[in-house]
Structure 1
Amino acid sequence: MTIRYHWIRKAALAGALTLPLATAGCGFFSKETSQNIDPPPAEAQSGTQTTNAGAAAASADGQGAQSSMTVYLKDGNGYLAPVSLQTAEGTGISPGQRALELMVDDGPHASGLPQGFTAVLPKGTTVKSLHVDKNKLAVVEFSKSFTDYNPQDERSIVEAVTWTLTGISGIQKVELWCEGEKLSEMPVDGFPLDQPLTRAVGINLEQQQGTASRSTPVTLYFSAQTEAGDSYYVPVTRLVPRSGDSMLKTAMTQLIAGPLDSSALTGVMLPDVGVKDISASGDTVTVDLQDAQYKKGEKVPSEMLQAVVLSLTETSGASKVQIKLNGSSDYKDDNNASYSAPVSRPEHLNAFKS
């Protein structure tokens, strides 16, 4: 059994991500992001580089400077997924407000969203104001149309707004207002808003069967595929039983275990990959993966390594991950990128071709 088959998901069951990123329909990370990632030394670029930059959305008139922005949209399976869009830099409009405007259902940017993805904010919603204070709290005021949604969509709206805004530099918490009044709960189904929203709210929440009430959340990154065959990452917050393991070890254990049987997502690692050691120091997490069948010089699947970086930085709050393989960092992925140095978490995910 080769390492490619050993670490990529069961091809007969899924088929997603089995092609190198250079031949896939989209890249996982935007070109702008890959240029900003701290590059490993020597001849290779960072392991979280994209090979296909996306430009999925632009301003209504297509004019002005463009910048990359990650917003959370709903995919064809009902999951929220980060999507990197190209948008015009409007004068007097903050990045947070621009991001939220991209997320309005049937809004002015609807035609620019990638095929198979839909916006989650109710039709007609406008962002009346957005202010970020010195405590990194984003106070957002929506128009009346924000209250016009189905109860089953409420949590997705909360998660999408929170994860989009907290993905922007300088924002860690979110407070929601509507027509001049602070919301103490969501207006349709009563999701509590008595405290500022953070990423602790989770995303695409799932609970393992038999998990007791005493559980702990861990956010993992798995893969999905559009009808057009484009692969992308989806974050999932899984409630798991509390154990004596560190959160980093728990994250790796769950990442290796893969998606739940009922999930439409696909894992990026097989269960017999092991973790010899994992620890955090400063802004870097170091993990030593073990695989008895790996032979020195073989290329390691980039999508597996990228999922490790995303999951561990999400869990720890660190910005970089050093991934060792059988105790060594002297290897490259299937994009010929070196992992001899810690790899930075990207700012933007899932860049689709327009």
Structure 2
Amino acid sequence: MRVDWMKKSVGLVLLSIVLLAGCNVFEGEQTLDQIDAPPEDAKVTDDIENVGETDEAGEDLDESEGAEEGTEEETDAEADDETEGEEASGTLSHVLYLIDQNGLVVPQEMELPAPASKEVAKQVLQYLVQDGPVTAMLPSGFQAVLPAGTEIIDLNLEEDGTMVVNVSEEFANYQAEDEDKIIESMTHTLTEFKNVDRVKLWINGEEQQTMPVNGTPLTQGYSRDEGINVHQATGIDLMESEAATLYFPMQGDEMVYFVPVTQHIEMDQDQTEQSIVQALMEGPAFDLPLENYINHGSELTAAPTLDDGTLSLTFNENILSNSEKGVIADEVLQSIVLTLTEQEGVQAVQVSVEDHQEVINEEGQPYTEPVTREMVTPAKSI
């Protein structure tokens, strides 16, 4: 499942234009002059928090009180001109999917300057461009992923959760072996936003059915379901297994961060979560310097239970880094929570240990409540 790490960081924006004579008023990051009009029943907006939601009277929020009437001729540049001279203040926290020193796509939470134009999603993509504004902010060993010179022309968020990304032709200046990294980075970065489910690519206003270099299919768009850092483990029968994304710690130059790896695992259909936990405890299935902080001999002592979005897991005391005090290593809990909240219906994880009344973190604070994904965000750059 996808849980929003950045819900608190996204600003609400209303930029209004008239799509066609007689059509309703919609908000968007661009105008019809820049991208062909969507279907008549689609809404285009950069209000990525509220698209598709309705008020108590059942009226679309996009057309509710406060929406201003615009014109077809209004462009992003004109909208930006309206804010010219207004200084953006403060920063916003965003999760960017960057490339680490091992060539893996990994999430990093970074503080970006609040955009004066309020085009938040567009700004986030601009910070994925090599030699772009993110360069001075990159942690040691990390790099941006989109080809240098790529211009993010405009974005359309459709009502079904599809984000249409229109980029310049420089986007196609990459090596074939980097194609998966590029589309995974774009997709996972944009789907951090609450109402974005998949990404479609346009280049200079033309829809792309495939990625431009190696031909990755894009007809239905690209979503998190396609995986990230996909690895096919040897000895696994693909017909008898399912893909799952597991999070493993990695020791970087400046921090410990978490690497999502999609791999096929042998899955018990009646105990999906237990199969995933078992795969996580066994560690990464390929040869990279990923860490496995879970102690040897750790195992579940009861079948996991899912109740109202909370997954309860009970381990033996080998899961603890200090069994006398009941301490579980922060990296262990983070791996567990990040991995299990990828599953449909799992919003939080409650970890308990056999024969221990409570489990505490490395700072001595007890885990009295279920742990959500927002509570174990990716490592911040320092």
Q: TM-score, normalised by structure 2?
A: 0.72
- SS of equivalent residue, structure 2 residue 315: strand
Match of 1:333 in 2: 361
Match of 1:22 in 2: none
% same residue: 29
CA drift of 1:224 comes to 0.8
CA contact (8 A) 1:137 1:174 kept: yes
- Deviations, residues 264-289 of structure 1 (Å, cap 9, x unaligned): 21112134111122122222211111
Match of 1:50 in 2: none
CA contact (8 A) 2:122 2:155 kept: yes
Is residue 187 of structure 2 the alignment partner of residue 162 of structure 1?
yes
In the TM superposition, 1:72-91 aligns within 5 A as 72-91=97-116
Match of 1:16 in 2: none
- Deviations, residues 45-77 of structure 1 (Å, cap 9, x unaligned): xxxxxxxxxxxxxxxxx9622010000000001
- SS of equivalent residue, structure 1 residue 205: coil
C-alpha separation between the residues in 2 aligned to 1:158 and 1:170?
18
Distance 1:297 1:233, change over 3 A: same
CA drift of 1:327 comes to 6.6
Distance 1:329 1:135, change over 3 A: farther
- SS of equivalent residue, structure 1 residue 206: coil
Extract unaligned runs of 5+ from structure 2: 10-86
- Deviations, residues 282-301 of structure 1 (Å, cap 9, x unaligned): 22211111236964533221
Match of 2:307 in 1: 281
- Deviations, residues 61-117 of structure 1 (Å, cap 9, x unaligned): x96220100000000011111011111111334322121111101113212111210
CA drift of 1:329 comes to 5.7
CA contact (8 A) 2:358 2:368 kept: yes
Q: TM-score, normalised by structure 1?
A: 0.78
Is residue 153 of structure 2 the alignment partner of residue 128 of structure 1?
yes
Match of 2:124 in 1: 99
CA drift of 1:319 comes to 2.0
Root-mean-square deviation (Å): 2.3
Match of 1:303 in 2: 331
Is residue 343 of structure 2 the alignment partner of residue 315 of structure 1?
yes
CA drift of 1:235 comes to 0.8
CA contact (8 A) 2:141 2:253 kept: yes
C-alpha separation between the residues in 2 aligned to 1:317 and 1:132?
25
Is residue 361 of structure 2 the alignment partner of residue 345 of structure 1?
no
C-alpha separation between the residues in 2 aligned to 1:155 and 1:274?
34
Match of 1:256 in 2: 281
Extract unaligned runs of 5+ from structure 1: 1-28, 34-61
The structure with higher relative contact order (CA 8 Å, sep 6+) is: 1
Match of 1:175 in 2: 200
CA contact (8 A) 1:74 1:120 kept: yes
Is residue 251 of structure 2 the alignment partner of residue 225 of structure 1?
yes
Counterpart of 1:278, as a letter, is P
In the TM superposition, 1:33-44 aligns within 5 A as none
Match of 1:114 among 119, 122, 139: 139
Match of 1:137 in 2: 162
C-alpha separation between the residues in 2 aligned to 1:191 and 1:286?
38
Counterpart of 1:212, as a letter, is D
Higher CA-based Rg? 2
- SS of equivalent residue, structure 1 residue 237: strand
* Number of residue pairs matched by the alignment: 295
CA drift of 1:328 comes to 5.3
